[in-house]
Chains A and B, each alone.
Chain A
Amino acid sequence: MGNSRQLFANHFFTKADVYFHSGYYPSVFDQAIGGAPHITAAKDAAAETDAEHGREQSEEAGFLGPPRDWIDRFSRNFYPSRHSHLDRPGEAREILPWLRIAADLDPHKVETYTVAAYWLREHLNRVDEAEQLLREGWRANPDSYEILFELGRVFDENRHDSQRARNVWELALGKWRQRSARNGEPDDFVLEQILTRLAQLEEREGHWEKALSYLEKLEAVSPKPEAIQQQINDLKKKVVSAPPANRSGAQQTGKP
């Protein structure tokens, strides 16, 4: 029963992706040839480069390929055969039922919570529901740093509560370290995001030493260490150019 619940949960998670593409989605036969697009690819546009998005678009646009025969050409009029996303305001709500069902069927599939929460708060302005869902996911997956990272974004970006965001992200960092030590295969992508957010938050709050420390850790895992080094240099210049009283005051009060 457990496995079948997971299978159905995966099916409904994919269903949400199908809805995100308005029904334009490769079948198992197409996926065997060219792979599948994925809802998470569009999850965080901020973390995605133009080249990556362009590649995803062209892969999605091309999975059908040229028509193989007259029946194939004719049949393309009867099902969605153009690449499309739920881009219009509020349209993203249509993916939510399938994500809710997927979460109910398999509460340990972390991706379901993070994806649903992203769409709820970012595109539908339903911050309370997003937080509630993430807390539910956290209860089911207490060791998940992904859910904690997403929860931190709710506090930081939507609630503008830096203190709670910091606490949650620091907890996420701790969970990440525990899991990496246990599994031996570090998930650098999420670590990079946690460190980036923490560095930004500390810089914004005027805790420059802490921001520098996070940036130095980030430099070690980032695929673009030069850009991070540039940020470190800029921040160091900022620290040097700031008046000493202001500098020390910022350290104590948390304000620049």
Chain B
Amino acid sequence: MNNALSVASIVIKELYRRKDFYVLFVLTAIITLLMGSLHFFNDDRIVRYLKEICLLLIWISALAIAVGTSARQIPAERENRTIFPLLAKPITRGQLIAGKFLGCWLACGLALIVFYFFFGVISVSREHQWAAASFFQALWLHWWMLGVVVAMTLLGSVVFAAPSSNGTICLLIILSILLLGRHLNKVAVQLAEPMSGVVSAVYFAVPHLELFDVRDLVVHNWDPINWLICVGATLYAAAYAIFFLFATWLVFRRQLVLRWQPGCSPGTRVGRAAALSPIACWAS
């Protein structure tokens, strides 16, 4: 556990050393404040449009941070060849994945706290009421949703060749789930077999990330969700995150960690025999 936490702490440090979070936060703040400075029909108590825009920007920023941070973790370690000293220490591949996941997830949590604090300040300053329970639930569910996203992207990072392709594919999948996930069952009943069965299977198989999107409830001041339902959603997210992490571990433990060896030329194909060898050529 200590090994995983050590890896996680490095990932968190990486987040606050990089500019991504600051840029996204400043952009969110500027756009929200600009929109807040608008007055419609001389009424300064209109607030819901502002809450919606702010939450939308927070969701976009959080997704960008989560996917961007997790997609580059393992490929960057490979490219910089820092994965060798890491794995040379008494740290297993499972611990490395757990540490990377924890680091990315906690980093996302820290970023979310800052974003939601800003959202709370904006909301309270215009609405003069503090819906603490709803805000906390929105933050909590959002964070768990990002847990699934981080785990999914880590799996992508050991499957796909480059962080860019992994990030793009993961974002496409996540956006598709967020936009269409809730409606796949309605689409399925209108299709003929075998497409109906395929769509139904996809509906039941994919992680329903849209469950965690409670923006409409927060924007329109609905009552907080039942806490037991929240616990259920948390367990649902945890199950999918564990599943993706387990799959990542399965793929990663079978992968060869390639490194450069004198005598190998860049682009050398690494065969099965080489894969079994502790030292293989690094295919650049």
Contacts and interface: CB of A to CB of B under 8 A. Distances in A.
Contacts of A79: 213-214, 216-217
Interface stretch (B56-64, B77-85, B113-121, B183-191): B183-191
Given A30-B186, A68-B185, A80-B222, A75 B210 contact: yes
Which has the most chain A C-beta neighbours within 10 Å: B40, B47, B141? Answer: B40
A94 B49 contact: yes
B42 A78 contact: no
A126 B185 contact: no
Interface stretch (A95-103, A145-153, A205-213, A229-237): A95-103
B210 to A, nearest CB: 7
B193 interface: no
A80 B208 contact: no
A80 B213 CA distance: 11
Interface in A138-197: none
Contact of B43 (A22, A69, A124): A124
B208 A75 contact: yes
A96 B40 contact: yes
Contact of A129 (B41, B185, B203, B213): B41
B186 A78 contact: no
A93 interface: yes
Dominant secondary structure at the A interface: helix
A160 B144 CA distance: 58
Nearest to B45: A93
Contact of A27 (B48, B183, B232, B233): B183
B43 A93 contact: yes
B46 A75 contact: no
A254 interface: no
Nearest to B42: A129
B interface: dominant SS? helix
A214 interface: no
Contacts of B214: 78-79
Interface in B210-244: 210-214, 216-217, 219-222, 225-226, 229, 232-233
A71 B42 contact: no
A74 B220 contact: no
A119 to B, nearest CB: 10
B220 A78 contact: no
B182 interface: yes
A77 interface: yes
Interface residues of A, number: 29
Interface string A24-45: 0001011001000000000000
Given A71-B204, A80-B222, A23 B216 contact: yes
A97 B229 CA distance: 33
A72 interface: yes
Nearest to A98: B49
Given A71-B208, A96-B40, A126-B42, A23 B220 contact: yes
Contacts of A33: 186
Contacts of A96: 40-41, 43, 46
Given A75-B211, A78-B214, A19 B48 contact: yes
A78 B233 contact: yes
Interface in A29-73: 29-30, 33, 68-69, 71-72
A69 B188 CA distance: 12
A90 interface: yes
24 contacts: A30-B186, A71-B203, A71-B208, A74-B229, A74-B233, A75-B182, A75-B208, A78-B210, A78-B225, A79-B214, A79-B216, A80-B220, A80-B222, A93-B43, A93-B45, A94-B46, A96-B40, A97-B40, A98-B49, A124-B43, A126-B42, A129-B41, A129-B42, A133-B41
Shortest 4 CB-CB contacts between residues of A and residues of B:
A23-B216, A22-B220, A29-B183, A97-B49
Interface of B: 38, 40-43, 45-49, 141, 182-183, 185-187, 189, 203-204, 208, 210-214, 216-217, 219-222, 225-226, 229, 232-233
Given A22-B220, A126-B43, 9 more contacts: A68-B186, A71-B185, A74-B233, A75-B182, A77-B226, A78-B213, A79-B217, A94-B47, A120-B41
